[in-house]
């Protein structure tokens, strides 16, 4: 498997985890009363989405 395909797979997996986690967190009625658990989940979501963005950029900028 070449590097470009590997980066795209990593991108889509991280994007899926990030989006699913974000939707689950935003759908909670307890978001109005932000707790530590919610903050940790949002940080984890941001890390997944940031990793997906890095994987996308690296996948697009590397030479085939």
Q: Above 70 in pLDDT, residue 1?
A: no
- Residue of higher predicted confidence among 12 and 3: 12
With 0.75 as the threshold, say if the pTM is over it: no
pLDDT value at residue 3: 72
Give the list of residues 6+ apart from residue 14 with CB closer than 8 angstroms, or none.
48, 49, 51, 52, 55
pLDDT above 70: percentage of residues in the chain: 92
Question: Total structural domains in the chain?
Answer: 1
The mean pLDDT of 50-62, rounded to a whole number, is: 83
Domain residues for the domain of 24 are 3-61
DSSP string, 10-43: HHHHHHHHHHHHHHHHHT-GGGGS--HHHHHHHH
């Amino acid at each position: 498997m070449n590097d470009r395909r590997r980066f795209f797979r990593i991108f889509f997996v991280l994007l899926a985890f990030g989006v699913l986690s974000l939707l689950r967190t935003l759908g909670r009625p307890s978001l109005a009363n932000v707790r530590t658990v919610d903050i940790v989940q949002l940080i984890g979501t941001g890390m997944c989405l940031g990793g997906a963005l890095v994987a996308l950029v690296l996948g697009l900028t590397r030479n085939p």
